[in-house]
Structure formats: structure tokens, C-alpha cells
Amino acid sequence: MLPALIRDQLTSIVGETRLLLGSDDLQRYGIDRTTLWQAAPCAVVLPATVEEVRAIVLLAREHGLAIVPSGGRTGLSGGAVAKDGELVVAMDRFDKILEFNPLDRSITVGAGVVTAQLQQFAGRQGLLYGVDFASSGSSQIGGNIATNAGGIRVIKYGMTRDWVIGLKVVTGAGEILELNKGLAKNNTGYDLRHLFIGSEGTLGIICEATIQLARPTLQASVMLLAVNEFAVIVDVLQHFSAGLELSAFEFFSQSALEKVIAHRGHAAPFQAVAPFYALLEFEPVDQAVVDKAMQLFQHCVDQGWVLDGVISHSVAQAQNLWKLREDISETLWRWQPYKNDISVRISRMPDFIFQIDQLVARQYPDFEVVWYGHIGDGNLHLNILKPECLSLDQFQAKCVNVSNEIGQLLAACGGSVSAEHGVGLLKKNYLHYSRSAAEIAIMRGIKSTIDPDQVMNPGKLFD
């Protein structure tokens, strides 16, 4: 319940129409794509200018009111969940492309610009925003930056961090900071821009971003391979990446494929049934490259790694193969999966796969496990499906135990408990498996400096 005094002050900052108090709005803006928590914000406010954001943050400081910054709410770790009476500051009104500079190949956008809008704008200028993922139709740039989103072409284009050349933020103290100002070279001490990237809303609110655009990509071919066993996926990756310039190397298990075909009505890619599938993308579409790909494919078949394969001959075929991978996450929601988004260095992947496969088989004998992810980046999305016979609470309790074992394994392999989805609420109890006590203490110190009254997204990342 929002006290009348704060409600009046918020109304005087943004006007009545941009302060939402109805239960539908509180529900909609109070959660992200996770299903574990109930939305319970005290209000939702939709600022339209940086000054309004600042005024809201100062008000929150004055009244000790917690803020949850909100973008497209496509996150998978509870980073944008408002479950404890927080004020949601939704950035939907920052939805303008503010400046495009062809000489710098840069674009400045409001934090509420949707990823696909940026990609399309770049395309119309003959340029490219190469960070891409299944939720690009609704995720917002500010949220992507706050979680340092990755996606399906990280092996070629890197993470969101690699393309952010400037940020305008309001800190938890209410300061407006312009960070890096779009410069390619700027060695003037600590790069605060990078602190905000991946900070999950715990330091301040990202209002605007300047993004470096890339030169356009060439048309790509997509290959889908039926792989004989988990362990050899890395051999296939190594073999193909030695011979071709890959822009993606993804994988998924047979159970993922089965479900996507059944629930999305996609056509089966080929007759062979294999435990795993690898999806590769490479450019350009010319005969020499395709011949090389076929030669690499034949070697994988001769080694017994690959049982079957298909290559796209048109843009539509390439898109259809991609759908088999991109539609997995959405398809699995009906099973309320317990999600793991873990990574190790590629060189450690063979050993890691062996160990985690054994751990999962030992610990989840009765659960259906669906594997998929960006194996070219060392990133596995391990989804455990909830059996109907267990309540969500019983299921979570079992999964939490195993998460500690996964955390220990990751710590031993120098891996990460969150490769690309962020820590949020979901993984904060496992942060110590990836970050040392000294690192976490420094992170807390940084938060206290930038957000002295702890108003920014409290309880996310760490308590």
C-alpha cells in the first residue's frame, strides 16, 4: 500500500496517468519470466525524462522506499521481480531512438527501446546490432544492459557489454552520470560504465545508452547435426571451428527437440533420432564455404560423432532450423522448469560435461532433464522439468539441494553459476561458488558508495 503522501509526491513528478495503482498493472509490472514469486509492488511509475527518474530516486531515498527498475521483464532470474512492496520504475516511456551517427556507426537510444526495434533501425541504415536472442521482440535495451544479455551469436558478436559505448544513468544516490560518452578510447581511470552493465538494477537506473553498431553480416547457412553422444559435441565444435568462421554453435537434446516439434508444430529436420543435436551457423553462403562445411561434416560422420545432418538452402530454411532451437525456452514453460544457466571455459567443457552429466543422472533419476544452450560459448541451459506429482515447493526444495552440488562442481572447474541470465533472486544463494568472499565484499562496498541508502533493487544479486 502506497502512503498518500508518497502517492501525491509521485503524482506531482509524473502526473496521474503515469502512476499505476490498479491490481492488473501491479501484477503485470511486478514479475519477470520467472514463476517462483508473487508480484506485490506498491505502485508502478512510468517516468519519461531523466529528471523525472532522478526526482523519483530522491523521493525513494527520502522515504526509504525500495525501487525495482523494470524493462521488458523477459529476465529469467527474478531480477525485475517486485515482491515486497517496492516501487516499480518502468522505463517504457524511454522508447525513442535519440540519435544516429553514421560516421561513428553509433546510436543513442532510450532504455525502453525494444531490442528488435534497435536491430531493425540498424538494418535500415545498412548496419547491424549483432546481439540477438529469442526474446528480442519484447526485451528492452536497458534491461539487456542491466543483465549484460548474451544470446545466440556470442561467439561472433560477444555480449551486450561489448557494444555499449556510453550510458546515462541515475545512481541510487540520485546523481545523473554520463559514462564514457560514446568514446572508442578513454583511459581516464575506472570505467564506471562497465560497473552498471550487469549490475541488475542494484546501482541505479539506466536511462539512455549509446551503442556501437557493426557492419552488416553476410547471409548465413545453418546446419543441424544429429550427434551421437554428449561428450563428442565439443569434438564437433572443435572440428568445425578450426575449418570455418562460425557465428553460432548451439546444442539441444532429443527431449528438447521432441517437445518443440510437438508443441510448436515444426517439421522434424530429418529421420535420424539422436540424443543430441548441434546447430551451426556460418557465412557467407558461397559454394567454397558450403563445400568446406560438407567436408567437415563428412569427417564427423566418419569419426562416428555425427549420425545425420541437414544444411539450409534458403533464408526460410535457415530460419526454420533456428526455430527448433529458439523456441525451446518458451515451450518448456508449461513444465515450470528449474533453470540452470551455467558456464565453463570451452577448454574445460569435455571434463565438465562428463561430470555434470553423471551428477545430474545420479541426483535427478526421476526428473526429466532437458539440455540445451550455447555450447560454443561454454554455456549450458540445464532445465529440470517439474513432474506433475510434485507441488512447486516440493520440486524447488529438491532442486535447491542439487544446485549446491552443481555450484561445487562449477567452483572446482572455475565456472559460473550464471552465464547470461544474471543472479537476481534465483541464484544469489549460489553466488559464492563463482565469486570469492573478497570479491563479494568489494561488490557490497561499491553498492554502498553508489546507492548509499540501499534503495536500488534490494535483495537482488546479494542480501
Which chain residues interact with ligand 2HG by CB under 6 A?
76, 134, 328-329, 339, 381, 383
Residue nearest ligand 2HG (C-beta atom): 329
- Which residues, in sequence order, are CB contacts of 275 under 8 Å at separation 6+? 227, 228, 229, 230, 253, 254
- Shortest Cβ distance from residue 338 to ligand 2HG (Å)? 10
Query: Cβ closer to ligand 2HG: 210 or 383?
Result: 383
CA distance 433 to 424: 15
Provide the minimum distance between the beta carbon of 326 and ligand 2HG in the complex, in angstroms, as a whole number: 7
Between 59 and 152, whose beta carbon lies closer to ligand 2HG? 152
CB of 445 to ligand 2HG, least distance (A): 31
Question: How near is the Cβ of 142 to ligand 2HG at its closest, in Å?
Answer: 18
**Which CB atom, from 247 or from 329, has the smaller least distance to ligand 2HG?**
329
Residue whose CB is less far from ligand 2HG, 330 or 351:
330
Cα separation of 246 and 43, whole Å? 46
Q: Count CB-CB contacts under 10 A for residue 316.
A: 9
| Least distance CB 383 / ligand 2HG (angstroms) | 5
d(CA 40, CA 254): 38
Nearest distance from residue 194's CB to ligand 2HG, in Å? 22
Name which of 168 and 259 has its Cβ closer to ligand 2HG. 259
Gyration radius of the chain over CA positions: 23
Q: Strand 67-70 vs strand 106-110: parallel, antiparallel, or unpaired?
A: unpaired
Query: How many other β-carbons are positioned within 10 Å of the β-carbon of residue 292?
Result: 15
CB-based burial, 129-143: b 16+ in 10 Å, e otherwise: bbbbbbbbeebbbbb
Q: How many angstroms separate the CA atoms of 32 and 39, rounded? A: 9
Question: Which CB sits closer to ligand 2HG, 108 or 416?
Answer: 416
Judged by CB, which is closer to ligand 2HG: 305, or 352?
352
Residue 425 beta carbon to ligand 2HG: minimum distance, rounded to whole angstroms:
16
Q: What's the closest the beta carbon of residue 124 comes to ligand 2HG, in angstroms?
A: 27
167-to-53, 101, 117, 203, 206 alpha-carbon distances in Å: 15, 16, 19, 13, 7
Task: Assess contact for 335 and 142: CB atoms under 8 A.
Answer: no
- Choose between 26 and 328: whose C-beta lies nearer to ligand 2HG: 328
Distance CA(420)–CA(434), nearest Å, equals 13
Sign of CA dihedral 424, 92, 134, 217: negative
Contact at 8 Å (CB) between 297 and 309? yes
**Distance between CA atoms of residues 7 and 184, nearest Å:** 43
Contacts of residue 284, Cβ cutoff 8 Å, sequence gap at least 6: 218, 219, 220
The distance of closest approach from Cβ of residue 76 to ligand 2HG in the complex, given in angstroms and rounded to an integer, is: 6
Q: At what angle do helices 392-413 and 349-363 cross, to 10 degrees?
A: 150
DSSP structural state of residue 189? S
Q: How far is the CB of 330 from ligand 2HG (least distance, A)?
A: 8
> Among positive and negative, which fits the CA dihedral 405, 410, 413, 414?
negative
Asked whether the beta carbons of 43 and 28 are under 8 A apart, the reply is no
Nearer to ligand 2HG, 66 or 76 (CB): 76
Closest CB to ligand 2HG among residues 50, 257: 257
Cβ proximity to ligand 2HG: between 86 and 132 the closer is 132
Give me the least distance between CB of 372 and ligand 2HG, in Å please. Answer: 7
